[in-house]
Amino acid sequence: MRMRKKKNAESRLLACEDYLLKSREDLLVYRDKMPLELEIGCGKGGFICQMARRYPQRFFVALEVSTSALITALETAKAESLANLRFINANAVHLPELFESGEVSTIYLNFSDPWPKARHFKRRLTYRLFLEKYCSVLTPDGKIIFKTDNRPLFDFTLEECAALSLPVTDLTYDLHNSSYNADNIMTEYEKNFSSQGFPIHRVVIHKKAENTVSQT
Ligand SMILES: C[S@@+](CC[C@H](N)C(=O)[O-])C[C@H]1O[C@@H](n2cnc3c(N)ncnc32)[C@H](O)[C@@H]1O
């Protein structure tokens, strides 16, 4: 996501710092609020804020490497006093240092940057080394829910899952016209791409073996 640097970024970040987790210890305060769900690359936070409103009994953490994008997300969470949502300004490569093994029940990857050039495949957030990091923090029955409009990235993701023998279910190439759409929350990118007529692809990736792949 290319974003212009936000005005007064530092003071705005400071004003919301109660919503920022800065260390592993900060997260421990919320551990009793399990199950813990995580979005990686939350952007401006529309999806994760709506999840926190809809599911007050779950605790959400959103990871975002871009400070500019994060400020909007933080300000929304603070304005609404969302008690079950916190943010981390960090790169997903650091995931295993931020979370304990087996403590995250669901990871959401929404419209991750596609990195279309072949030589950049290792930067894609569904590259196998990233998937392995996600699995290391997931509970045994944990899952990764991945949405994108980008078919090459979607196909790449399925290949990476196959390479790691990660089972996939609930696969659709057209989420908005599928049975999985009932409880779907649209992200900022999703609204944009879908308004341009692009179908949205979505799949659930499991940590442990399950047998079926259903498709609509
Ligand atoms: C294309 S945007 C999608 C934003 C949002 N999920 C949505 O669907 O509207 C991808 C986001 O992922 C973030 N991102 C990319 N690589 C990341 C990484 N390695 N760790 C954390 N965030 C990352 C970017 O800064 C950007 O905000």
Domains of the chain: 1-99 (3.40.50.150), 112-216 (3.40.50.150)
pLDDT at 80: 97
Residue nearest to atom 12 of ligand 1 (CA): 41
- Give tens-digit pLDDT for 150-207: 999 999 999 999 999 999 999 999 999 999 999 999 999 999 999 999 999 999 999 9
Which ligand 1 atom is the nearest neighbour of the CA of 46? 9
**Cα distance between residue 95 and residue 22, in whole Å:** 13
Return the best residue to mutate from 47, 113, 121 for the ligand 1 pocket (most ligand atoms within 8 A of CB).
113
Residue 211 Cα to ligand 1 middle (Å): 31
- Percentage, residues of the chain above pLDDT 70: 93
More confident residue, 8 or 34: 8
Which ligand 1 atom is the nearest neighbour of the CA of 190? 8
Mean per-residue pLDDT for 115-129?
98
- Percentage, residues of the chain above pLDDT 90: 85
For residue 9, pLDDT beyond 60? yes
For residue 1, pLDDT beyond 60? no
pLDDT at 161: 98
Residue nearest to atom 14 of ligand 1 (CA): 41
pLDDT at 27: 83
Return the best residue to mutate from 40, 71, 89 for the ligand 1 pocket (most ligand atoms within 8 A of CB).
40
pLDDT at 33: 63
Sheet of 59-63, strands arranged across: 85-88, 59-63, 36-40, 104-110, 138-148, 201-206, 168-172
The catalytic position among 113, 149, 155, 170 is: 113
pTM of the model: 0.94
| Protein residues whose CB sits closer than 6 Å to any atom of ligand 1 | 1, 40-43, 63-66, 69, 91-92, 110-113, 125, 187-190
pLDDT at 123: 98
- Give tens-digit pLDDT for 31-49: 666 789 999 999 999 999 9
Mean residue pLDDT of the chain comes to 92
**208: confidence class by pLDDT, cuts 50, 70, 90:** confident
pLDDT at 211: 46
Each residue of 110-133: b (16+ CB within 10 Å) or e?
bbbebbeeeeeeeebbbbbebbeb
Active site residue 170: no
**Cα distance between residue 155 and residue 4, in whole Å:** 31
Residue 41 Cα to ligand 1 middle (Å): 3
**6: confidence class by pLDDT, cuts 50, 70, 90:** confident
pLDDT at 160: 98
For residue 115, pLDDT beyond 70? yes
Give the number of other CB atoms < 10 A from CB of residue 70: 28
Which ligand 1 atom is the nearest neighbour of the CA of 42? 6
**23: confidence class by pLDDT, cuts 50, 70, 90:** confident
Which DSSP state fits 94?
A: G
pLDDT at 97: 92
For residue 213, pLDDT beyond 80? no
